[in-house]
Structure 1
Amino acid sequence: QIAQESEPGLAVYALAAQADMYRWRGDHAQARAVLSKARQLAEEKGLDFEQRGLLPVAEGITLAESGEVKAGLRLLSDGVRFLEQRRAKRELARARFLLAKAHLLAGDKPQAVGELRRALDLAEEIGTHQFAVVEGQHAVGLLKLGIAQGVAPCRALAEKVQQLGGLGAAEVRTGEGAEEGAASRLEIYALGEGRVVRDGHTVSSSEWRTAIVKELFFYILLHGPLERDAIGVVFWPDVSAKKMADSFHTTLYRMRRALGGDVVVVEGGQYRLGDVDYWFDVEEFEALVERARLLPPHAWQAEDLWRRAVALYRGDFLPEVQRVWCVPKREALREMYLEALVGMGRCHEARREFEGAVGWYRRALEVDELREDIHRRIMHCHAQAGRRSEALAQYHRCREILKRELDIEPSVETKGLYERMAGKGPD
């Protein structure tokens, strides 16, 4: 309060520094709120340098990191031009470093390298790289890119960041993984649990930060491209438009931190999975089932495809997700799994391996015990194997289940099969 009255410029700097702290923690909504206060104060006090230089840089990098890269680049560029005109070299060096980071977030590596060189040349001129060490802890990909492109000071900066725990020794030597958070290879699992493996490393709960970050990734993967508001209706239906936007961009930022800056891109206002190299167990499972459907049960390729599909299905689709968006997909995949189990049974039947077929059909009933057609397949297998009493017993089990669960009798088709086997109807 005292600073706002006696030293308003100092107060604006303090608020901008506070916003940086929130930004580094990934809380971009709070960073924006603090910067809004800073801008209001700067406008009230007529602080031209802060309004046109300091704050556009702070606001621009906050926007870029939270997913609004184009808007962030515009503000950062405006701030850089103003600081150049004022010859404010210390502030300009930091602004160019942040502009380089924003260009990398936009996927423009040549521009990123150019701005990085200019930032570090200025740092040499003013005699300090401290801003680059501080920001470098949150721009590891930019330092890696600088090393890979031969930007001389980057290796020394990376060594300092390494001492602070931000880089590994191999990355300092080679600049490996030079793109900001680049997702070289993703293995994505949703059957049985939601799990993502990035370059051989399973992304941990602490890296996701919150469960909604991981859930949003799977939602965009399956349903993208989507507009932000359409996503907001699903994930934040009961909050204001501003709160929804803040929550979305914070979640998106955390996702990119966990998986790579290129994992989700925005085109024409719609968000989708970026052009990343990935394997997804759901897509593999669906492809196996679709191929197996085209083959007769006596073909050896059919059994191979059904067996591989069964092996991939480790459990229900994203069982940890409670939101209704995943229920239709979960049910559809469960039906496909059931189809794969029945497919395995039919392959065994085609070879007259009735005991093996019954085993697969029983596994199918563990998924859905109300399926009369599967009960009938078991009855048929027992009858073909000369086990008439077991075939009749299967009918009675089916009847008990239907009575207990639905309070209904078996269908005419199932009753007819039973009567023929029991000798109470025509053969």
Structure 2
Amino acid sequence: MNPSPSPPQHTNLQLLGQFRLELNGEPVPLCGNAQRLLAFIGLRGCVCRSVVAQTLWPDATETHARGSLRTSLWHLSSDGRKLELVHCTQESLTLGHGVRVDASTLARTALDIVRGRGPFHADPLLLGVLDRGDLLPDWDDNWVVLEREWLRRLRLQALDILAERLARHNMPALALEAALASIRIEPLREYPHRAAVSAHLAEGNMIEALRHYEAFRQLLRTELGAEPSPWFTRKIPVKRRWRPRR
């Protein structure tokens, strides 16, 4: 009798908020260099060995950098569970088949929204994909900083577009959630605050709209010594000297 096949392995690489590698829901410990190597390949997908070595060990000689790369690859392949985290050839490194990366899912989703692909106004789960933490916030490697800023700007653009589409399709509650997610990333941008106020007004919540406007106005004054734009102020349907009770 043939033995039953092994159950499929589900490998998840979390790069948003913190680094975490999971196999079937259980954490897989990795040393620091192995984490950096896996994160780099996870973000790039397929990359030349020499580029990996030069990027991750920029201050080392070429010989030492290549040696560090080989050691890190050994750490990734030495787990007793036989994880295929990285597929290696003589010239390149590719993320193993079936390894899911949350940052890649976020980037694909955000790019599809920005490019206008799909009826995204009908899928409330998109907010859960877009409303995540920053990319590896405690890492200060140059390549991480650049990827983090690109992904952050992409998320903001996607959330702004999503909030506008949800409002246009008469879904103000979800439009408000998208606007608030954008505000959590960058609280001083006016656009998502305008979207939040519009969503409150669409739901008939004038008090909440006024309260949100006044909170943003105070934030701008405190942080920048500035005022909301005249266009935003004209959207408020009562005199500005009115103040909602706190």
Tell me the residue number matched to 1:154: none
Q: Distance in 1 between matches of 2:93 and 2:176?
A: 44
| Change over 3 Å in CA distance of 1:187–1:290 after alignment to 2 | same
Separation in 2 of the partners of 1:330 and 1:376? 26
Q: State how far apart, in whole Å, the 2-side matches of 1:219 and 1:339 are.
A: 24
Per the alignment, residue 373 of structure 1 pairs with 191
Asked whether the equivalents of residues 36 and 56 of structure 2 are also in contact (C-alpha less than 8 Å), the reply is: no
Q: In the TM superposition, what are the counterparts of 1:139-288 in structure 2 within 5 Å?
A: 186-198=11-23, 200=24, 202-205=26-29, 208=30, 210-223=31-44, 224-228=46-50, 230-258=51-79, 260=83, 263-267=86-90, 269=91, 271-273=92-94, 276-288=97-109
Counterpart Cα distance in 1 of 2:20 and 2:187? 29
Confirm whether residue 364 of structure 1 aligns to residue 182 of structure 2: yes
Compute the displacement of 1:246 (Å).
Answer: 2.3
- C-alpha RMSD of matched pairs (Å): 3.6
**Structure 1 counterpart of 2:125, which letter?**
R
Give the C-alpha shift of residue 273 in structure 1. 0.8
Q: Is the contact between residue 295 and residue 302 of structure 1 (CA under 8 Å) also seen in structure 2?
A: no
Percent identical among aligned pairs is: 21
Greater mean alpha carbon deviation, residues 392-401 or residues 249-258: 392-401
Aligned positions of 1:2-401 closer than 5 A:
186-198=11-23, 200=24, 202-205=26-29, 208=30, 210-223=31-44, 224-228=46-50, 230-258=51-79, 260=83, 263-267=86-90, 269=91, 271-273=92-94, 276-293=97-114, 294=116, 301-304=120-123, 307-312=124-129, 313-339=131-157, 341-342=159-160, 345-346=163-164, 348-350=166-168, 352=170, 354=172, 357-388=175-206, 390-401=208-219
Structure 1 residue 279 displacement after superposition: 2.7
For residue 342 of structure 1, report the CA deviation from its aligned partner.
4.4
Letter in 2 for 1:371: R
- CA 1:397–1:240: 2 relative to 1, 3 Å: same
For normalisation by structure 2, the TM-score amounts to 0.73
What residue number does 1:411 align with? 229
CA distance in 2, matches of 1:383, 1:399: 17
How many residues were matched structurally? Answer: 232
Normalised by the size of structure 1, how large is the TM-score? 0.46
Q: Is the CA contact 1:309–1:340 (under 8 Å) kept in the aligned structure 2?
A: no
Three-state SS of the structure 2 residue aligned to 1:279 is: strand
Match of residue 57 from structure 1: none
Counterpart CA distance in 1 for 2:198 and 2:85 is 54
* Per-residue CA distance 1:204-262 (angstroms, 9 max, x = gap): 22xx2x1220111120232332232x333332233333332322221121122246467
The higher radius of gyration belongs to 1
- The separation in 1 between residues aligned to 2:196 and 2:126, in whole angstroms, is 22
How far apart in 2 are the matches of 1:302 and 1:389? 26
The amino acid of 1:284's aligned partner reads T
Higher relative contact order (CA 8 A, sep 6+): 2
Q: Is the 8 A contact 2:54 2:62 kept in 1?
A: no
Classify the secondary structure of the residue corresponding to 1:273. Answer: strand
Q: CA deviation at 1:372?
A: 0.3
CA shift for structure 1 position 398: 1.8
Q: Look up the SS of the partner of 1:196 in the other structure.
A: strand
Per residue, is there more helix in 1 or in 2? 1
CA contact (8 A) 1:192 1:315 kept: yes
Distance change in 2, residues 1:309/1:347 (3 Å)? same
SS in 2 for 1:370: coil
3-state SS in 2 of match to 1:400: helix
The letter for the 2-side match of 1:394 is: H
Kept after mapping to 2: 8 A contact 1:303/1:344: no
CA distance in 1, matches of 2:179, 2:125: 17
5+ residue gaps in structure 2? 241-246
